[in-house]
Amino acid sequence: MKKMDRLMAIIMALQHDSQTASALSSKLEVSRRTILRDIQTLSEIGVPIGAASGPNGGYTLMEGFQLPPLQLSSREALCVLFALQGLTRYTDTPFNGERWSVMDKIRSILPHETSKSIDPLLDSMEIEVPKRVYHIPHLEWMLKMTAQGKWLSVFYQSMNHRRRLLIKPHKIFAAHGFWYCDCFSHTHQEDRRLRIDRIQDVAEAEEPADFRELKLSSSQDQDTSIHIRAELTYKGMLQVERDEHIGESIEAAGDELWIADFHLPEKEWEWVVSLFFSLGREARVIMPEKLRAEIRQRASDLYNDYNHAIAEES
The angle subtended at Cα 177 by Cα 246 and Cα 108, nearest 5°, is 120
Confidence band for 70, pLDDT divided at 50, 70 and 90: low
More confident residue, 244 or 173: 173
Q: Is 105 helix (H, G, I), strand (E, B) or coil?
A: helix
Residue 36 to residue 184: CA distance in whole angstroms:
43
Average pLDDT, the chain: 87
Above 90 in pLDDT, residue 242? no
Of 13-17, 63-67, 172-176, the range with the lowest mean pLDDT is 63-67
Give burial (CB, 10 Å; 0-12/13-18/19+) of 28: middle
* Predicted pLDDT of residue 255: 84
* Predicted pLDDT of residue 284: 95
**The domain 225-310: what is its CATH number?**
3.30.70
* Predicted pLDDT of residue 146: 95
Of 24-28, 71-75, 308-312, the range with the lowest mean pLDDT is 71-75
Confidence band for 294, pLDDT divided at 50, 70 and 90: very high
Give residue-wise pLDDT tens across range 247-283.
888 998 888 899 999 988 888 899 999 999 999 999 9
Alpha helices in 188-314 (DSSP H): 211-220, 234-240, 269-279, 289-313
Confidence band for 68, pLDDT divided at 50, 70 and 90: low
Which residues are 195's β-sheet partners?
A: 180
What are the percentages of helix, strand and coil residues in the chain, rounded to 5?
45, 25, 30
Task: Give residue 25's Cα distance to chain centre.
Answer: 24
The topology under which CATH files domain 139-220 is SH3 type barrels. (2.30.30)
Give residue-wise pLDDT tens across range 42-56.
888 888 888 888 777
Average pLDDT over residues 14-28: 87
- Percent of all residues in the chain with a pLDDT value above 90, rounded to a whole number: 39
Above 50 in pLDDT, residue 304? yes
Neighbours of 68 (CB within 10 A): 4
Confidence band for 214, pLDDT divided at 50, 70 and 90: low
**Domain 3-61 bears CATH identifier 1.10.10.10:** yes
* Predicted pLDDT of residue 220: 47
Give residue-wise pLDDT tens across range 102-146.
888 888 878 888 888 888 998 899 888 888 888 898 999 999 999
Contact 287, 272 (CB under 8 A): no
Confidence band for 213, pLDDT divided at 50, 70 and 90: low
Please state the domain extents for the chain: 3-61, 74-123, 139-220, 225-310
Above 70 in pLDDT, residue 195? yes
Average pLDDT over residues 61-73: 74
Q: Would the CATH topology of 3-61 be identical to that of 139-220?
A: no
Model pTM score? 0.61
